[in-house]
Amino acid sequence: MPIHNADIAGIFEQIADLLEVENDNPFRIRAYRNAARTLRNLGQDVGDMVAGGKDLTRLPGIGKDLAAKIEEILATGHCRTLDKLHKRTSPGLSELLKIPGLGPRRVSALYHELDIHTPEQLYRAAKDGRVRSLPGFGEKTELRILENIEAHIQKDRRIKLATAAQYARSLVAYLQRAEGVSQVMVAGSYRRCKETVGDLDVLVCADQGSPVMAHLVRYDEVAQVISQGTTRATVILRAGLQVDVRVVDKQSFGAALYYFTGSKAHNIEVRKLARQRGLKINEYGVFKGRRRVAGDTEASVFRAVGLPYIPPELRENRGEIEAARAGMLPRLVERADLRGDLHAHTRATDGHDTLKAMALAARSRGLEYLAITEHSRRLTVARGLDPRRLLQQMEAIDALNENLKGITLLKGIEVDILEDGSLDLPDEVLGRLDLVIGAVHSKFHLSRDRQTRRILRAMDHPHFTLLAHPTGRLLLEREPYDVDMNRIIRHARERGCFLELNAHPVRLDLLDAYCMMARDEGVLVSINSDAHSTMDFDNLVYGVGQARRGWLEKKDVLNTRPLSKLRPLLKRTM
C-alpha cells in the first residue's frame, strides 16, 4: 500500500496531539504541526522525492530529525515515536481527540485532572457535572460536549462481556446443530475479552450448501433480520444485540477468525508485515499473487508473516507485534493456573450461602484455598461485621477447616478505608487475620489528591494486605473515582502489598493498562471473584481474560501460588 503525504501528515498530527496531552515542550509540538502542514500542502509526493534522492530538509519546517522520521514511515509504514506515545498513553485518548470541540489542551485537562480515558467516561463525567469544574470549561462547554458525544454513545450501545457471553453461548450451541456445520466461534472484541461488547461477530465453518443461514433466522431469539445471504447474515436479537454471521470453508476458517477478531489497529500492522513479504491477507487466506499460502488456521496466518501465534487478548497494537518478533511474548495466565480465591462473602453479611457451601463450591472449581472476607461494620447496607461478629466467624472458620478436605479457608476481612485513610476495625482484630483487604466504598468524589492520599495512608497500615477493586468503577454504571494509579502502584511495590483484579463482571477492576503497570513495577495482582454466592466462582474466567489483556503471566498473579508459598507472602504484609 503506497504511503501518501496525507498519511505522514496524519501521523505527525497524532504525535503533536499526544505530546500536547502530555504537556510536552510546545516548540516540539509546533514542529510536528508545521511539518504536517507542509506535507499536506506539498504538491509533490514526498515518497517520490526520497526515491529521487532529494534532500527533505530543504522543505519548510523539515529538519534532519523529521526528515529521518518521514523516511522511516515510508520504509516501514509506522513511526517509532508514535508507537512509544501509544504505549504510554491511554488507548482511548485518540478517540477523545476526535470529538468536536475538544482539542489536545482540553483532552489533557480531562485526562490529567479527571482521569478520563474514553468518550464514554467523558459522557458520564459531563452528565455528573464534573467537567464544568475544570478551568476553561464551564457549564456551556459541558453541555456542548454532551451534545457532541451523545449521539455517538447512543448508537454505540455496549453490554458487559459476561452478559454478551450468555447470548453467545446459546447462539453458538444452536448454530452447531445445523447440518454441515463443523465449527462455530465468536470473534471480534468478544474474543479479545474486552470488558464491554457492542455486537457479536460469529464465524461458522460449514460444508458448501449447508442450510445454516436458514437455520439462523429461525432462531427463537432473532427479533429482526437485517440481511440474509448464502454466506453472510446480520440479525438483531430480542435483547437488542446485533449479530453478524459469516460462513467460511475449512481452508479459510483460520484467516477469517484472525481477520474478524481484530483489533483494527493490530490487523493493519500485520498486513504491513505481509506486504513487505509480497503477501496479501484477507478473510479468505494469505495469498502470494493468486496462490493461497496460508489460512486454514490462525497460526498459519502468523507464520506466513514471520510471527509466532499472538493470543487474541493481546491484539490491540500495544507492542505485541514487536514482542512477537523479538520472541518476548508473555506466556499469559490461564484459568487453570489459579490455586485459590482471596475475596468472597457469605450470608454473614451480604452473601447468599454458608461458609461450608462456599468452601465446597470453590473446591469443585479446582481451588485449593478460599479467603472469606466479609464487609466491615461501616458498610451497614451489607450488615458488615463488628469486631465481636468477626471473631465469631474466625472461630467458625477454624472449626470448619478441621473437617474440610481438599480446600482450606483463610480468615480475612474486606475492611472499609475511611475518608482519612484509617481502617474500619481495630488493630487487635485485624492482626489476627490471614489477610486484610482494604476497599473504598464511600466518598467517591474526593479530589484526585485527597483520594490518592486516602488510599496511600490505608496501604501504610501495618495489617494492610490487598487493595480491593482499586478504581471503584462499575462498568456502564459508575466511572472510576479520580485517583493517581501510578502512585498507588508504586506505593504498593514499596510497601510490599498487592492489588486486586476483581473478576466480578460489573467491575473487571483493574483496567488492563493498570495490570501492565503493576507487572512492570513488580506488584503482584490477585484475580478474585468477589463471590457472593456459590455460582460466582465461575466469574474468575472473566478476571483471567482481563489479566491476559494486561499481559499478566502466571508469575505476576498472587493466587497462582500454592498455599504453602502464599502464606509467607501474606505474612510479609501483616
pLDDT value at 1 more than 50:
no
Give long-range contacts, CB 8 A cutoff, 24+ apart: 213-219: 213/245, 213/247, 215/174, 215/175, 215/177, 215/178, 215/179, 216/175, 216/178, 216/245, 219/171, 219/174
SS3 labels along 164-182? HHHHHHHHHHHHHCCCCEE
Q: Which of 102-106, 186-190, 209-213, 275-279 is least confident?
A: 102-106
Residue 166, number of CB atoms within 10 A of its CB: 12
Cα angle for residues 499, 344, 455 (degrees, 5° grid): 35
DSSP 8-class letter at 532? S
Rounded Cα distance, 490 and 521, in Å: 7
Q: Which residues contact 149 (CB under 8 A, 6 or more apart)?
A: 99, 119, 122, 123, 126
Q: Is 79 helix (H, G, I), strand (E, B) or coil?
A: coil
The predicted pLDDT at position 542 comes to 95
- Mode of pairing for the β-strands spanning 525-528 and 232-237: unpaired
The predicted pLDDT at position 403 comes to 93
H or E stretch including 120? helix 119-127
Mean pLDDT of the chain: 91
Q: Is 222 helix (H, G, I), strand (E, B) or coil?
A: strand
Single-letter amino acid code for the residue at 47: G
Percent of the chain whose predicted confidence (pLDDT) is above 70:
98
Question: For helices 80-88 and 5-21, what crossing angle results, to 10°?
Answer: 40
pLDDT band of 574, cuts 50, 70, 90: low
**What would the pLDDT profile of 550-562 be if each residue is shown by its tens digit?**
999 999 999 999 9
Spell out the domains of the chain, with CATH numbers in brackets.
Answer: 5-155 (1.10.150.110), 159-248 (3.30.460.10), 252-325 (3.30.210.10), 335-572 (3.20.20.140)
Residue 542, number of CB atoms within 10 A of its CB: 25
Average pLDDT estimate for 188-202: 95
Cis previous bond, 533, omega within 30? no
**What would the pLDDT profile of 419-470 be if each residue is shown by its tens digit?**
999 999 999 999 999 999 999 999 998 999 999 999 999 999 999 999 999 9
**What would the pLDDT profile of 287-311 be if each residue is shown by its tens digit?**
999 999 999 999 999 999 999 999 9
**CA separation (Å) from 375 to 429, 459, 529?**
14, 18, 15
pLDDT value at 520 more than 90:
yes
Q: Which of 113, 119, 104, 100 is nearest to 21 (CA)?
A: 104
pLDDT value at 6 more than 80:
no
DSSP 8-class letter at 478? B
Give the strand order in the sheet containing 232-237: 181-186, 199-206, 242-248, 232-237, 222-228
pLDDT band of 2, cuts 50, 70, 90: low
Q: Which of 426, 418, 558 is nearest to 496 (CA)?
A: 558
Q: Which of 268, 271, 269, 267 is nearest to 280 (CA)?
A: 271
Rounded Cα distance, 55 and 426, in Å: 72
Residue 246, number of CB atoms within 10 A of its CB: 18
All 3 cell numbers of residue 350? 451480604
Rounded Cα distance, 432 and 522, in Å: 27
**What would the pLDDT profile of 9-53 be if each residue is shown by its tens digit?**
889 988 998 898 888 898 999 999 989 888 876 767 788 889 888
The predicted pLDDT at position 155 comes to 44
The predicted pLDDT at position 152 comes to 54
**CA separation (Å) from 466 to 417, 419, 459?**
12, 18, 8
Find where cell 446485533 sits: 242
DSSP 8-class letter at 391? H
**What would the pLDDT profile of 215-253 be if each residue is shown by its tens digit?**
999 998 898 999 999 999 999 988 788 999 999 999 999
Rounded Cα distance, 356 and 341, in Å: 15
SS3 labels along 364-380? HCCCCEEEEEEEECCCH
pLDDT band of 322, cuts 50, 70, 90: very high
Average pLDDT estimate for 181-193: 97
Residue 465, phi then psi, degrees to nearest 5: -110, -45
Cβ atoms of residues 354 and 372 within 8 Å = no
Rounded Cα distance, 233 and 243, in Å: 8
**What would the pLDDT profile of 525-542 be if each residue is shown by its tens digit?**
999 999 998 888 999 999
Give long-range contacts, CB 8 A cutoff, 24+ apart: 77-84: 77/1, 77/3, 77/269, 77/272, 78/11, 78/269, 78/272, 79/11, 79/15, 81/15, 82/11, 82/14, 82/15, 82/18, 83/319, 83/322
The predicted pLDDT at position 154 comes to 52
Question: For helices 355-364 and 387-401, what crossing angle results, to 10°?
Answer: 50
Give strand ranges (E) for 7-60: none
Which residues are registered as beta bridge partners of 373?
412
The predicted pLDDT at position 43 comes to 65
Which of 109-123, 161-175, 460-474 has the highest mean predicted lDDT (pLDDT)? 460-474
Give long-range contacts, CB 8 A cutoff, 24+ apart: 46-52: 46/5, 46/8, 46/70, 46/74, 47/2, 47/3, 47/4, 47/74, 50/74
Average pLDDT estimate for 171-176: 95
| Numbers of helices and strands, H then E, in the chain | 24, 17
